[in-house]
Amino acid sequence: MKITVLGSLGNINRNYLPRLIADGHDVTVITSAQDRVDAIHALGAKVAVGSKRNVNFLTETFKGSDVVYLMITGINPISGTDMWQAAIELSEIYKTAVQNSKVKNVVNLSSIGADNPKAGILYLYHFIEDALNSLEGVNIAHIRPVGFYNNLFADMQNLKTQQAIFSLNRLGDCLNLR
């Protein structure tokens, strides 16, 4: 099976790419980081270097794939970016690329909070679900994990020095989870 994945060598891909390749799948990994090309090739995958925000790049990379694996990444509330607008734009880019490439199967990494407006920033995942769900003739599997605990590694210094995890609850609000 020909599989194209977003997420480069992040927390998920670095764990399941070796299994897909060992099972004989033809895997292409999309990355924006040229310095990851050798590591991706070492796993046995093909590499497509470009931006997930470039609909033409995604369309060409998706063409001929049996399935694509999508995720919203790179939306950082601390950066000052309008997260909601960024999620809407990325969702439309993904939808257009899937539609134009004629891919028939999509696995979308979403969130447990995608269907609940009270879920805070997790609700932004509903944008990609809604965009993909509007496609006709495309099989879509939305995966809604509860959480990834290895994401807490970024908080290790605060855990060690302050015995706390600090997290954004809303834009500009900092929540101390002690």
Per-residue pLDDT of the chain (178 residues; tens, 9 = 90+): 999 999 898 878 888 899 999 999 999 999 999 999 999 999 999 999 999 999 999 999 999 999 999 998 777 666 667 888 899 999 999 999 999 999 999 999 998 888 888 888 788 899 999 999 999 999 999 998 876 666 666 777 877 887 776 665 444 444 444 4
- Spelled out in words, what is the top-level CATH class assigned to the domain 2-147? alpha beta
Residue type for position 77:
P
65 CB burial (10 A radius; 0-12, 13-18, 19+): buried
Residue ranges matching CATH 3.40.50.720 in the chain: 2-147
Residue 138's Cα: distance from chain center in Å?
19
Reported pTM: 0.82
d(CA 175, CA 139): 38
Which single residue is written with the structure tokens 């924006």? 32
Sign of CA dihedral 85, 91, 94, 97: negative
